[in-house]
Structure 1
Amino acid sequence: MPDTGEQLRGSERAVLSRYLVERYAAGESLMRLAQDTGRSFGHVRRLLMDAGVTMRPRGGSRPRTT
C-alpha cells in the first residue's frame, strides 16, 4: 500500500479499507496497520469500524501463567 497522508475518496478509500480488513482479520494490529500505511491509528480504526469489523479486545494475546 502506498505510504501517503492525502485524503482518500471513493474507490481509493474502498481499496484501502478492503486491504486493512484483510490484514486485520489475519491478525495484524491496528498500530502495525497504521505504521505500514502511513495513516493514523484513528483513521485505520475508523475505516475498519465503517467496514463493519468487530474489533478485538485491547492488549493482544498474552501467554498463560497458571
Structure 2
Amino acid sequence: MAWVPRTRWLIGDVRREAARELRAAYDRGASIREIATEAGLSYTATHRLLREAGTPLRARGPRPGGPSSER
C-alpha cells in the first residue's frame, strides 16, 4: 500500500488502482482504520474507495477471536 500517491486528488486510473490495492488489504483481514492509517488516508476516503471497488464490507465491531471475545 505504500505506493498510494500522497496527492490531494486520486482520479482516473490511479484512483481505480488505489481502490484495488485497498480492497486487497481489506480482503486479507485488515480493518478500514488500519488500511487508512497505512495508506495515509482518512477513514472516510478509505471507506469510499473500498465501496467504489465493490468490496463487501464486514459487520462493525470486534473480530471473532479477538481480545474482547475472551471474556
TM-score range, shorter chain: 0.7 to 0.9
Displacement of 1:5 after TM fit?
Answer: 4.8
Task: Kindly provide the CA deviation profile for residues 7-55 of structure 1, in whole angstroms up to 9, marking residues without a partner as x.
Answer: 1111110111110010100001100110011110000001111111111
State the one-letter code of the partner of 1:6: R
Q: Specify the alignment match of 2:37 in structure 1.
A: 35
Please give the alpha-carbon distance, in whole angstroms, between the structure 1 residues aligned to 2:26 and 2:70: 27
Gaps of 5+ in 1: none
The runs of 4+ residues in structure 1 deviating greater than 4 Å are none
Gaps of 5+ in 2: none
**Alignment TM-score, normalising by the size of structure 2:** 0.79
Aligned residue-pair number: 66
Displacement of 1:65 after TM fit?
Answer: 5.2
CA RMSD after TM alignment? 1.8
Q: Specify the alignment match of 2:21 in structure 1.
A: 19
Q: Specify the alignment match of 2:50 in structure 1.
A: 48
